[in-house]
A and B are shown apart, each in its own frame.
Chain A
Amino acid sequence: MKSIIILIALLISVVFIRLNTEAIAEDTSAVKSIILPVIEGELKEGAGKDETAAFCNICHSTDYITMQPRLPADTWSAIVHKMIVVYGAPVNEDDSRTIINYLSSTYGAGK
């Protein structure tokens, strides 16, 4: 029994030393890493806010919306359709109407 415990201990230490050696062998000085901050975007209240946040956040933060100048409804519509056609945003006809309505009424320039 005692010898088995010693054997296991030995095995563990061998594995540990191996892992350690590997860690040393992999030159960590060659790795450069950063951690990007996660910044919550804040959208104004309005009908369709949650859908807009959910779909737009797939590809980009919602500050892409909030930094824009007030845009006319047809510009918002063109932008949403560009996201679907060019970038492949998985937004169906109903959802796109909800999003366009939200953007035009919340961040719109009127007619």
Chain B
Amino acid sequence: MGINDMEFSRRDFLKTAGAVGLAAAFGGFPSGLFAEERRLYKFPEKTDLILLTSRPPQLETPLHYFKELITPNNALFVRWHLADIPTSVDLSKWRLKVGGNTDRGLELSMDDLKKFERITYTAVIQCSGNGRSFFKPRIAGGQWQNGAMGNVTWSGARLKDILKQAGIRSGSVDVVFDGLDSGPLPKVPDFLKSLPVDKAIEDDIMIAYEMNGEPLTMLNGFPARLVVPGWFATYWVKALREITVVSKKYEEFWMKPAYRIPDNPCACVPPGSKPDKTVPITRMNTRSLVIGPSAGSTLKVNSAVDIMGIAFSGGYSIKDVIVSVDGGKSWREARCGTDMGRYSWIQWSHTWKPVEKGKYTIMARATNSIGESQPIESLWNPSGYMWNKIESVEVNVV
């Protein structure tokens, strides 16, 4: 019986001591995983997820769901910025407004949206702050481990087609996206994000109304959300209500000063320091994760085990994944699974038969088709974004 099989009631708490006790009892899960209190909680349309915050909701996906190529809708992470989130939407009244610096204004119903050519692809959705809790020195903010991500098949209309119908006027610079959420106080900056016009009219940018063939869950942005494959989820504005084309660079709070990274090739600064210049965070860096065996597992000597995991990069296919079982001294190439396209994650595996007892450190490193890979040491930035250090998983062979 593993942690996955255990039943947790709504208000069960997993505390450090409890986690260590369980790990000892069931011989297989990481003592480091529950450094701080982690509790599971069930929200509407969701299964038990790790509760970071309740209002607004921030819920993390337990790692074992990443054994699957596609993340189920009820297990996908949830992250809202402002407390007043939509909890009821009447599709007979909901309209997606499109306007600003356009030839005409649009008010699209869901039926209208579905009249545009439907496109479908699988893409990783990942929060900018995924892995923030691993940075040293520690960084204030959402204390995500690895579960603020998922791999989902999205369907919807091309943003480009919608903007074409509205008619982008010359001199347009940015396209601004607003959702149904709002702040509980008048001064709280509304959550608006923008894309440069050139980015917004790329073929793959989508107004998604389905995830894995179903309508979006309310907490993941029902009835429609922006999907910017390859880019961090901060742009994937949920529960869209308005798209505005503007003729000036859009630099309100959630574009500046929020969601910025150091303006240099590594997007990093010496730990604890501040960058001189920042730019908006955009494209995801390359990551890989070891999903099995889980950290702290006990394995049997002379019996083969499949080391498996996932790898993805910001819109460029994974070229290879290499695996080490000796803490990075030697590496072997892993086998990669089904290729679901350049925005999806890929599953990889490597069969290993330990012939000696002892402690082993398993590592995996992915490289994408343009040579972007993962660092041995973490690259630090003040907001705790873009965590992609090569992970180490300690196992015990007996």
Contacts and interface: CB of A to CB of B under 8 A. Distances in A.
Interface string A71-87: 10001000100000011
Interface in B86-130: 87-92
Nearest to B81: A60
A6 interface: no
Given A37-B54, A68-B143, A59 B184 contact: yes
Given A36-B43, A37-B54, A87 B183 contact: yes
Given A31-B89, A58-B184, A75-B140, A36 B57 contact: yes
Q: Which of B45, B186, B188, B218 has the most CB of A within 10 A?
A: B188
Interface in A64-111: 64, 66-71, 75, 79, 86-90
B140 A68 contact: yes
Interface string B42-79: 11110000011111110000000000000000000000
Interface residues on A, range: 20 to 34
A27 B197 CA distance: 37
Contacts of A30: 90-92
Nearest to A75: B140
A88 B185 contact: yes
A59 B185 CA distance: 7
B36 A41 contact: no
A71 B384 CA distance: 15
Contacts, number: 97
Contacts of A31: 88-92
A39 interface: yes
Nearest to A66: B37
Given A59-B184, A63-B52, A69-B133, A86 B253 contact: yes
A67 B36 contact: yes
B138 A69 contact: yes
Contact of A64 (B53, B90, B183, B186): B53
B248 interface: no
Nearest to A68: B140
Contact of B55 (A60, A89, A90): A60
Nearest to B92: A30
A36 B53 CA distance: 12
Given A33-B87, A66-B37, A60 B53 contact: yes
B17 interface: no
A90 B41 CA distance: 31
Given A61-B54, A89-B185, A32 B89 contact: yes
A34 B92 contact: no
Interface in B123-161: 133, 138, 140, 142-143
B277 interface: no
A24 interface: no
B176 to A, nearest CB: 20
B385 interface: no
Given A36-B57, A63-B51, A88 B188 contact: yes
B83 interface: yes
B240 to A, nearest CB: 15
Given A35-B87, A37-B42, A70-B138, 18 more contacts: A34-B44, A34-B219, A35-B44, A38-B54, A39-B41, A59-B183, A59-B185, A60-B53, A63-B51, A64-B53, A67-B52, A67-B142, A68-B143, A69-B133, A69-B140, A69-B143, A86-B187, A87-B183
8 contacts: A27-B92, A63-B52, A63-B53, A67-B53, A69-B138, A70-B138, A75-B140, A86-B253
